[in-house]
Homo-oligomer: A and B are copies of this chain.
Amino acid sequence: MTLYLEDLSIGQAFRSEPRVVTLEEMITFARDNDPQYFHVDAEAAKASLFGGLIASGWQTAALSMRLLVEGPAPFAGGLIGVGAEISWMKPVRPGDSIRIEGEVADINRSRSRPDRGIVTVRLTTYNQRDEPVQRITARAVVFARGDGG
């Protein structure tokens, strides 16, 4: 199943399966991309604001979009982001299980290139205690089925 622009409607809701994020994944991500001590060093992180190692917010963001497109919303052509607004409300800690719930907030078919449109999706990422840890409103290019689909 692939979702084209014509398959989407405002208010359409999505919900993913949960996914565990391990300590190893957090450290691997952070070493390469966000090597702050509270993301890479479990011992040193105890003295941080967070009292322990937490995932980089950028990893939570990327994994949340992955949960969307590999799960309930496999957009045609993938998720081609043009922008996003993010709020991080709670840390994601090693072994936490995250899942997303989201909905289509807006759909704008391109006038100049009617084979595509910009879709706005609002996602909330929850942990295993159903606490919201992150909110994203993302705008992405989604292709239309057109004649060839």
Contact = CB atoms under 8 A, between A and B. Distances in A.
Given A36-B69, A66-B34, A141 B82 contact: no
Given A61-B58, A62-B58, A141-B49, A36 B79 contact: yes
A6 interface: no
Contacts of A70: 35
Contacts of A83: 85-88
B77 A48 contact: yes
A78 B38 contact: yes
A80 interface: yes
Per assembly, the copies of the chain total 2
Nearest to A135: B83
Contacts of A35: 66, 70
Interface string A23-34: 001001100111
A57 interface: yes
Contacts of A20: none
Contacts of A88: 81-83
A81 B69 CA distance: 25
